[in-house]
Amino acid sequence: MKSFKISTSSPEETMNFSANLANKLQPGDVITLEGDLGAGKTTFTKGLARGLNIKRTVNSPTFTIVKEYEGDLPLYHIDAYRLEHNEEDLGFDEYFEGDGIVVVEWAKFIADYLPEERLNIEITYQEQDGRIIELLPQGQRFEKMCRELTE
């Protein structure tokens, strides 16, 4: 599997990157975000929201599983953390095959429901304001997108 890495040195830089990514996305696109607490998953999502012209403030979804935001396209922010031991299908297909962009945190807890074609992203803390953003596209369309974003 191809992997693309970029480094950012401020939250603003991370948000600029994800705002650019947002402009390349289509309805039904799924992005998974991995990274430790404080790595920048929510910051990345805020940039996506900015790219989609979403006016509301994006926060960590912590107490709700899915948060919806309206913009040029809807953004569905899913936090699967509390679904670790959940066995039932909560109807995620509606989001994954839907009209908006889907961002999933703790995607491993709903791995069975994720579409095969998606963009996996891992953010790693460097020091202070430095972060490595690794893009792990699944499928040719996402691979092309990642190449364009990193060249």
Token duo for residue 73: 């396209």
- Choosing among Mg ion, ligand ADP, none, which partner's interface includes residue 8 (Cβ < 5 to 8 Å by kind)? ligand ADP
- Choosing among Mg ion, ligand ADP, none, which partner's interface includes residue 137 (Cβ < 5 to 8 Å by kind)? none
Query: Shortest gap between Cβ of 32 and ligand ADP (angstroms)?
Result: 13
What are the φ/ψ torsions at residue 6 (nearest 5 degrees)? Answer: -130, 160
47 belongs to the binding site for ligand ADP (CB under 6 A): no
Closer to ligand ADP by Cβ: residue 8 or 138? 8
Print burial letters for 117-126: b (CB count within 10 Å at least 16), e (below 16): ebbbbbbbee
Region binding Mg ion by CB under 5 A among candidate stretches 5-13, 54-62, 84-92, 126-134 = 54-62
Cβ neighbors of 151 (< 8 A, separation 6 or more) are none
Q: Report whether 139 contacts 52 (CB < 8 A).
A: no
Candidates 13, 60, 141, 143; binder of Mg ion (CB under 5 A) is 60
Residue 8's beta-bridge partner residues? 131
The residues that touch Mg ion, with contacts defined as CB under 5 A, are: 41-42, 60
